[in-house]
C-alpha cells in the first residue's frame, strides 16, 4: 500500500498511440510531493503520512498553517494532504516523489470536486420527464409533480429528489487507466471530476489491477 498524489487539472486532449488508436486523456500537472511528517497510532489514533505540494509564500497562508510549517522548520506549501498508510509502508520524512510513481497501464481512482451548476430543476438535476405538454397542464411542464405524502405520514421523506443545488460535490471515479507520464505531467484516459485549474486526488485503484 502506498500514498497518492495531488494533481492540477490542465484540461483534456487526445493522444494517438503507435497502433493508430486515438485516446481522450486528461492532463494533470504534478508538482514535487514532499513527506513532511507522520501521524502515529500511539499519538494521533491512526497512522498517516502528511504530504505537502505546490510551494507557496508564507503571507498567502492562514496563521494556523504558517505555524504548522514553521514548527516543521521547512518550506511552505499550498496543498497539504494526509494519506493513511500502515506503519510498515510509511515513507520516511523528507522523501520526494512526483508523477513517476504511476506507470502506464495502471488503474487509479481519481477524486475531485465536480463543477457546480447552481440551482437546477428536477429535469436537469435528476433526469425527470416533466409533466404532460397538453390536456390541462398549465405553467408547470417542468415541475416535479407530487412529492408523495398526504395526512399520513404528513411529511416529505429525506432524500426526495427535488430541485436544488446541482454539482460542486466530492466525486470519485474508479478504475481509470493511466496512459503515461511526460515529465511532471500525468495523462489519464477519460474525463475526471473538477474544473480546469482545480486539484484532484489520484490514488491506486481499490478494485483495479496494479503494477
Render pLDDT for 57-92 as a digit per residue (tens, 0 to 9).
999 999 999 999 999 887 899 999 999 999 888 889
CATH architecture classification, 5-117+174-204: 2-Layer Sandwich (3.30)
Label residue 209 by pLDDT band (50, 70, 90): low
What DSSP element (H or E) covers 36? strand 33-39
Distance CA 22, CA 7 (A): 23
CA distance 45 to 43: 6
**How confident is the model at residue 87, as a pLDDT?**
86
Going by C-alpha positions, the residue among 137, 210, 145 that lies closest to residue 175 is: 210
pLDDT in tens, 119-139: 999 999 999 999 998 888 999
Give residue limits of the domains in the chain. Answer: 5-117+174-204, 120-166
Provide φ and ψ at 88, rounded to 5°.
Answer: -70, -25
User: Quick check: 128 and 120 in contact, CB under 8 A?
Assistant: no
In this predicted model, what pLDDT tens digit does every residue of 142-167 receive, in sequence order? 999 988 888 888 899 999 999 999 99
The whole-number pLDDT of residue 210 equals 59
Q: Please state the rounded mean pLDDT for residues 4-23.
A: 92
Percent of the chain with pLDDT strictly greater than 70: 99
Average pLDDT over residues 161-176: 96
Q: Centre a 10 Å sphere on the Cβ of residue 146 and count the other Cβ atoms it contains.
A: 7
pLDDT at position 149 is 82
Band (175; pLDDT cuts 50, 70, 90): very high
Host H or E run for residue 124: helix 122-126
Nearest to 50 by CA among 7, 81, 25, 27: 81
pLDDT band of 45, cuts 50, 70, 90: very high
Nearest to 51 by CA among 8, 94, 87: 94
DSSP state of 5: E
Taking 60 as the threshold, does the pLDDT of residue 102 lie above it? yes
Query: What does pTM read for this prediction?
Result: 0.85
Q: Which three cell numbers stand for residue 146?
A: 407530487
Q: Compute CA 138 distance to the chain's CA centroid, rounded to the nearest angstrom.
A: 42
Q: Return mean pLDDT, the chain.
A: 92
Amino acid at each position: 500500500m502506498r500514498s497518492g498524489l495531488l494533481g492540477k487539472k490542465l484540461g483534456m486532449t487526445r493522444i494517438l498511440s503507435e497502433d493508430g488508436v486515438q485516446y481522450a486523456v486528461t492532463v494533470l500537472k504534478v508538482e514535487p510531493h514532499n513527506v513532511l511528517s507522520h501521524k502515529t497510532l500511539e499519538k494521533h489514533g491512526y497512522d498517516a503520512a502528511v504530504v505537502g505540494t505546490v510551494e507557496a509564500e508564507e503571507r498567502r497562508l492562514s496563521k494556523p498553517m504558517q505555524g504548522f510549517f514553521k514548527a516543521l522548520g521547512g518550506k511552505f506549501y499550498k496543498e497539504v494532504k494526509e494519506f493513511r498508510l500502515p506503519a510498515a509502508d510509511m515513507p520516511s520524512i523528507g522523501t520526494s516523489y512526483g508523477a513517476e510513481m504511476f506507470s502506464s497501464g495502471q488503474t487509479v481512482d481519481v477524486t475531485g470536486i465536480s463543477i457546480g451548476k447552481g440551482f437546477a430543476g428536477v429535469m436537469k438535476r435528476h433526469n425527470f420527464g416533466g409533466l404532460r405538454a397538453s390536456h390541462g397542464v398549465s405553467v408547470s411542464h417542468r415541475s416535479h409533480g407530487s412529492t408523495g405524502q398526504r395526512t399520513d405520514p404528513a411529511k416529505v421523506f429525506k432524500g426526495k429528489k427535488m430541485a436544488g443545488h446541482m454539482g460542486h460535490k466530492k466525486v470519485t471515479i474508479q478504475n481509470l487507466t493511466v496512459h503515461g507520464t511526460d515529465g511532471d505531467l500525468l495523462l489519464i484516459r477519460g474525463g475526471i471530476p473538477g474544473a480546469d485549474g482545480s486539484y484532484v486526488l489520484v490514488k491506486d485503484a481499490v478494485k483495479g489491477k496494479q503494477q
